Every structure is written in C-alpha cells, then in structure tokens.
Amino acid sequence: MSSVQPLFVLQVPPSSGTTASGNGSFVCVEPAPQVYVLSFSSPPDNRLTPAFNATFLLALDIIEIRFSKGVVVSTSSITKFYSNGLDYEKVVKDPTFFRNSLYPLWWRLLTYPMPTIALINGHAFAGGLMTAMMHDYRIMNPHKGFLCLNELDFGAPLTSPMASIFRVKLPAMSTLRHMVLESRRYPALEALKEGIIDGIGGPEETLAFIEEMKLVQKGQSKSYGRIKEELYREVVKDLEVSDGMAKMEAAKDLERSRRQLDARQRVGKWEKDTGRERSKI
C-alpha cells in the first residue's frame, strides 16, 4: 500500500509546548478502487492527543466529501504500535478532552457512512484498542502486537462509552471480564478466537477481506451510517451525552466518598466498641 501515490497528506499540528518536527502525519492512499487507507504516525506511539484526533477527523471528512464512497482502512506507519491510547496524565487535567476531542472522533468512526476497518499492525492498548473497536471490522498482524485494556494497571476508570463499545461488540461477557478485570493481553490468534478481531493478516489480507465481503459495494448504500447509528445506539447515546455523563460521574464520585466516610465511621465505632487497635492500612 505504501508504494501508491498519496491522495492527500495531513500534518498533525504541534501540541502546546512542542515543535512541529516529528509531530506526525496522516497519509491517504487508494491501493484498490474506492479503498482508502489512512496511515497515521504520531511518534513515539500514536497517542490520542487533541491534535491527533482533530487530524483524524479531518481526514475522515475529506474522504467523505471529496471522494467516491468506498471503504476506509486506518493503520499505523509506526510498526510497533497501532495506538498506545491516551496521554492519561494530561487527560485528567483537561476536563474538555473527552467531550471536545476523543468522543467526537469515536462517534465519527462508529457512525461513518462507509465500512471502516482497523488494520492493527502492532500494539493497541487502552484507548487505542477502543478506537479500533469503533471501526466496523478489525484485522490484526498475526506475528506481533497485543490487544489490551490495561486501565486497571494505572488506576483509570472506564467511562460509559469505553465499556459499552465492548458490551455491544464482543460475543461473550467473559471475554470482557478477562480484559478489564485482569488486563489480559491478547495476541492475534487468541483475539480472533474471542471475537475481538475479524481476521488476521496485513495489507494484502485486508484487501482480500474487503473483496470477499464486498464491502465497497455495501458502502454505496445511503443508509449505511444511519443503520450503524441504530445498531450501536447504546454507544452512540453514551458518546452524545458526555456533558450529562460528566455530571453523573461527579455525583457518583461524591456518593463514593460519602459511602467511604460512612464505612470509616462504622469501622471506627466498631474498633472503639470492641477495644481493638486501629488497623494499619
């Protein structure tokens, strides 16, 4: 696919405090008629920053507005990573990130009016895997890379869209339990067995998959995107009500704090009543 003349190239704009050098790009090629491959790079590991997300959105817009309907394939030109997810330390300091940056990208991918495929050439962790799940199909390199939801490892919660996309798309809740409560890492063959991905291979196998599934032809339907909105309406709703969800999460945090305080008071009373020493925790 890399030898095909690009249809367009977008530079990922620099984030605040950085320079444009090495910031990354999106390159779109058409290796087969009406098959659009978006190869992205944002060194070192394709983090989902506001600049990256905005460039991804622009690329999707250009394809829809300026080119014939077909199939969109996203992949990474960084061989080790499809995407390593969010820059979590920065995200927790930006209350607008989900509402203004990440969720609009996910909504666009999930409801895109053409078939979409994530060609996962390397690791896809946390938000990177979630982004791949927002595509209609996933094809993964069978020789290297893992899929993993490792929020448990760094103490991050799952927001409603993060959880609902897996509930909607995975065939078994046991797989989701392994993913989120054990941070299990899945190589390609195991991911295929569990229904996380739809096939294994690289660019050639992806083109063959598109041909076999007649995805270019299916993508001509005027209702393709609208059907997906209904098919995945639980996730769509979660992505669209992010403001309300933020308030709900804040209320839940307050309720958790209240319950923890009540629990500490009950334990303190029990220790006092029984004469036990306070536990060292």
8-18: average pLDDT: 78
221 pLDDT tier (thresholds 50, 70, 90): very high
Whether residue 17 has pLDDT greater than 70: no
Identify the weakest region by mean pLDDT among 124-138, 220-234, 258-272: 258-272
Whether residue 125 has pLDDT greater than 70: yes
**Structure confidence at residue 241 (pLDDT):** 77
User: What contacts 24+ positions apart, CB below 8 Å, involve 101-104?
Assistant: 101/50, 101/53, 101/54, 102/48, 102/53, 102/127, 103/161, 103/239, 103/242, 104/53, 104/57
266-278: average pLDDT: 77
36-51: average pLDDT: 96
Nearest one of 84, 135, 129 to 107, comparing CA atoms? 135
Whether residue 139 has pLDDT greater than 90: yes
Helix (H/G/I), strand (E/B), else coil: 25: strand
**Structure confidence at residue 10 (pLDDT):** 95
**Structure confidence at residue 21 (pLDDT):** 42
Q: Are strands 81-83 and 71-76 parallel, antiparallel or unpaired?
A: unpaired
